[in-house]
């Protein structure tokens, strides 16, 4: 099956093949370069990246026919004729994606690909990269901020808009480094407000722990660990009993489970579950647990090769974990909270108990103490009142002075 005007086809062996005109004819025959991939999207990205490399080496050529061949465009198609005068945003963005693939985690690459395909290409893809200036990008970002959600046209989350701005800057930096644009469009910074995060009250946590002790399942251990160690949901799902240090009463975070978009889409599934190393170097860490809590785990220890949360050699994926957690909250009679609320609750209780921010930051796996202070710590009103009551009682002092006079 061929793709008209792109010189891309699916071979009989299931692979995809891209054919590119490369340089001048040899002995009267067209000089082709062949590239192969597991899917149409894969080989198209390889093709566009190869075209960009030819351009950066000055081998793009001035002949419109050669340009059309490199870009996979047909000179017979009036709609494509103007595109031979410059590379489209889509071609450059796919080249950028191809350059990022070897340098970032698979989950990060899937996120970049989803953002480009979902938000950037529908509006910017057909534009010439040199025609996109600061004003056009700013208008685009404002539209996304006002009604960027595809399913209902509601405002896009501020964090998502900020991520789009960051990705656009990276794409234009990539283009500038290859001589495809003269400068990088500049847009004002977006203010991302800190989202409101809920924290379990002491009564809610007590009700949850009561249900956990009563049910006493491998899944219960995962929730308990989240309350007293603060790992992320993917890290809990990936924990094996071999990650527990029973002598020092600590837990080693070495891997994480996540569901990401299936970028290659070979199997036909939109998403897939991957088991990888944690998101950053600081996420590879050791978490100490309170001795009574660790003793509870010691008494329920399984085989080293077993995943703690399933009691078997098969891990639980985060989507399943979230669903079971929601049902747990209902059984405990607790209002709806996200799974990440357990992590916030742990961090908040640590601060209320006097733990220093540097130690807490390392336990949570943050690269900067500021993240811990600004994002994850939410003191309760009871704690705030307790701290306020420690202030000198100047009213009483004033009354004594008045009485003496």
**pLDDT at res. 70:** 45
Q: Report residue 186 as tokens.
A: 């500049």
With the C-alpha atoms ordered 283, 315, 276, 371, is the resulting torsion angle positive or negative? negative
Which one, of 211, 362, 381, 233, lies nearest residue 309 by Cα?
Answer: 233
Backbone angle region of 309, left / alpha / beta, with phi > 0 → left and psi within -120 to 50 → alpha: alpha
Average pLDDT over residues 137-166: 90
133 in Cβ contact with 166 (< 8 Å): no
Q: Report residue 7 as tokens.
A: 């010189």
Produce one character per residue of 104-133: b if its CB has 16 or more CB atoms within 10 Å, e if not: ebebebbbbbebbbebbbeebeeebbeebe
The mean predicted confidence, pLDDT, of the chain is 83
**pLDDT at res. 351:** 85
Average pLDDT over residues 313-341: 96
Q: Report residue 166 as tokens.
A: 């960051």
How far, rounded to the nearest angstrom, does the alpha carbon of residue 219 sit from its chain's CA centroid? 25
Q: Which residue has the tokens 């647990």?
A: 289
pLDDT at residue 383 greater than cutoff 50 = yes
Alpha helices in 333-391 (DSSP H): 340-352, 357-364, 369-375, 381-388
Greater pLDDT, 403 or 36: 36
Greater pLDDT, 125 or 51: 125
Task: Band the pLDDT of 217: cuts 50, 70, 90.
Answer: very high
With the C-alpha atoms ordered 40, 45, 50, 52, is the resulting torsion angle positive or negative? positive
Min mean pLDDT across 28-42, 306-320, 353-367 is at: 28-42
**pLDDT at res. 61:** 47
Q: Which residue has the tokens 């208008």?
A: 139
Containing 271, the helix (H) or strand (E) segment is strand 271-276
- Full-model pTM: 0.72
Q: Which residue has the tokens 């495809």?
A: 180
pLDDT digits (tens, 9 = 90+) for 57-99: 655 443 444 444 444 433 334 443 344 346 889 989 988 998 8
**pLDDT at res. 23:** 64
Task: Band the pLDDT of 372: cuts 50, 70, 90.
Answer: confident
């Amino acid at each position: 099956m061929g793709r008209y005007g792109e010189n891309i086809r699916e071979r009989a062996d299931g692979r995809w093949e891209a054919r590119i005109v490369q340089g001048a004819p040899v002995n009267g025959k067209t000089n082709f370069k062949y590239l192969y991939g597991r899917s149409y999207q894969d080989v198209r990205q390889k093709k566009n990246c190869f075209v960009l490399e030819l351009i950066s080496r000055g081998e793009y050529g001035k002949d419109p026919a050669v340009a059309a061949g490199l870009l996979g465009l047909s000179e017979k198609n009036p709609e494509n004729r103007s595109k031979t005068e410059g590379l489209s945003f889509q071609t450059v963005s796919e080249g950028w994606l191809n350059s990022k693939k070897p340098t970032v985690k698979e989950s990060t690459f899937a996120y970049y690909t989803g953002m480009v395909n979902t938000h950037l290409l529908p509006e910017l893809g057909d534009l010439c990269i040199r025609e996109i200036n600061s004003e056009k990008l700013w208008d685009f970002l404002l539209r996304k901020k006002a009604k960027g959600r595809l399913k209902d046209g509601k405002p896009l989350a501020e964090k998502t808009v900020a991520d789009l701005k960051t990705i656009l800057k990276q794409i234009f930096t990539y283009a500038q480094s290859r001589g495809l644009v003269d400068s990088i469009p500049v847009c004002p910074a977006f203010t991302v407000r800190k989202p409101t995060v809920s924290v379990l009250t002491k009564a809610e946590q007590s009700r949850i722990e009561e249900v956990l002790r009563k049910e006493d399942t491998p899944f219960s251990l995962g929730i308990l660990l989240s309350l007293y160690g603060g790992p992320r949901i993917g890290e809990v799902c990936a924990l094996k009993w071999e990650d527990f240090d029973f002598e020092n009463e600590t837990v080693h975070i070495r891997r994480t489970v996540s569901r990401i978009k299936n970028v290659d889409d070979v199997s036909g599934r939109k998403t897939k579950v991957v088991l990888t190393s944690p998101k950053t170097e600081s996420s590879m860490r050791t978490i100490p647990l309170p001795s009574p809590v660790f003793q509870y785990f010691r008494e329920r220890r399984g085989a080293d090769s077993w995943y703690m949360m399933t009691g078997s050699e098969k891990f639980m994926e985060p989507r399943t974990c979230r669903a079971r957690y929601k049902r747990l909250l209902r059984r405990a009679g607790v209002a709806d909270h996200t799974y990440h609320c357990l992590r916030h609750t742990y961090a908040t209780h640590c601060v209320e108990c006097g733990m220093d921010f540097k130690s807490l930051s390392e336990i949570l796996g943050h690269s900067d103490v500021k993240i811990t202070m600004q994002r994850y710590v939410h003191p309760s009103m009871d704690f705030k009142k307790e701290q306020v009551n420690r202030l000198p009682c100047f009213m009483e002092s004033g009354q004594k002075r008045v009485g003496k006079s």
